[in-house]
Homo-oligomer: A and B are copies of this chain.
Amino acid sequence: MIHLDVAFLPSELAAKSLHSALAVVIDVVRATTTITTALAQGCAFVLPVLHIEEAFELQRQYAQEPHRPLLGGERGGQRVEGFDLGNSPREYTSEVVKNKGIIFSTTNGTRTLLALKEAAPILIGSFLNISAICQYILRHPFQDQRNPVILACSGVVNTFSLEDAVCAGMFVHFLSVAEPDISKTPAAMAAELLYTHYQADLLAMLQNSDGGRRVARIGLAQDLVACVEVDKYPIVPIFHAGKIVLREESLLVESP
Contacts and interface: CB of A to CB of B under 8 A. Distances in A.
A233 interface: no
A78 interface: no
A189 interface: yes
Given A190-B160, A190-B194, A8 B8 contact: yes
Interface of A: 6-9, 11-12, 14-16, 157-162, 165, 185-187, 189-190, 193-194, 197, 208-210
Contacts of A189: 162
8 contacts: A11-B11, A12-B159, A15-B157, A161-B186, A165-B190, A190-B194, A193-B193, A194-B194
A159 B193 contact: no
A166 to B, nearest CB: 9
Contacts of A14: 158
The 10 closest A-B pairs by CB, nearest first: A162-B186, A11-B11, A160-B187, A15-B158, A12-B159, A186-B209, A15-B159, A15-B157, A193-B197, A8-B160
A190 to B, nearest CB: 6
Nearest to A158: B15
Specify the main secondary structure of chain A where it touches its partner. helix
Contact of A9 (B8, B157, B161, B186): B8
Contact of A12 (B15, B158, B185, B190): B158
A210 B185 contact: yes
Nearest to A193: B197
A165 B191 CA distance: 12
A16 B158 CA distance: 9
A77 B255 CA distance: 45
Contacts of A208: 186
Contacts of A158: 11-12, 14-15
Contacts of A9: 8-9, 11-12
A186 B207 CA distance: 11
B157 A186 contact: no
Contacts of A159: 7, 12, 15-16, 187
